């Protein structure tokens, strides 16, 4: 019996499962900050994909040696981290504002913009 070594599929499957778990948190959490935590999980799952592709992707380590072309995935991951910081700051400010104006933190009770 031969077990394949750790490769791209391992990371992609793990990222898919983490993404689904993040979606579960977004749907089921009863507190707005819990929803934000789920979004952070989903962003991290996407980041794992980006970094895994930069390691194992078709541009792979061969391109890595010739001018660092395959490092694009890591660059994207770093940008996603920066955007996640923005998202967390603005999201938490909205949560604080939400509690000040509506005195609730349950996303279900905020229906003013519901169609």
Partner 1 sequence: MRWVGLTPTQIVEYVAFLAAAGASLVTALGVLFAPRVLHAAIWLLFCLLSIAGLYALLGAHVVFAIQILVYAGAIAVMIIFAVLLLERGTGRGILGGSQHLLAGVVGAGALAAVLVPAVAYACWKQWAAAASMPTPPSGNAAAIGRLFLTRHLLAFELISVVLLVAMIGAMVLARPDRRRGELPEDVQEAQAEDTTSEWRAPLNVGAEEDAE
Cα-Cα-Cα-Cα torsion 29, 32, 35, 41, nearest 10 degrees, comes to -120
Question: Which of 59, 54, 56 has its CA nearest to residue 73?
Answer: 54
The least CB distance from residue 115 to partner 1, in Å, is 18
The least CB distance from residue 54 to partner 1, in Å, is 7
Binding mask 6-35 for partner 1 (x = CB under 8 A): xxxxxxxxx-xxxxxxxxxx-xxxxx-xx-
| Residue 102 touching partner 1 (CB under 8 A) | no
Token digits of residue 98: 């939400």
The least CB distance from residue 110 to partner 1, in Å, is 14
């Amino acid at each position: 019996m031969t077990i394949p070594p750790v490769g791209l599929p391992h990371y992609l499957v793990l990222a898919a499962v983490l993404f689904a778990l993040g979606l579960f948190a977004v749907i089921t959490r009863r507190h707005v900050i819990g929803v934000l935590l789920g979004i952070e999980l989903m962003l991290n799952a996407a980041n794992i994909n980006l970094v895994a592709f930069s390691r194992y992707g078709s541009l792979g380590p061969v391109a890595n040696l010739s001018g660092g072309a395959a490092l694009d995935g890591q660059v994207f991951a770093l940008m996603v981290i920066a955007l996640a910081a923005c998202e967390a700051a603005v999201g938490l400010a909205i949560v604080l504002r939400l509690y000040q104006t509506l005195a609730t933190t349950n996303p279900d009770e905020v229906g003013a913009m519901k169609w």
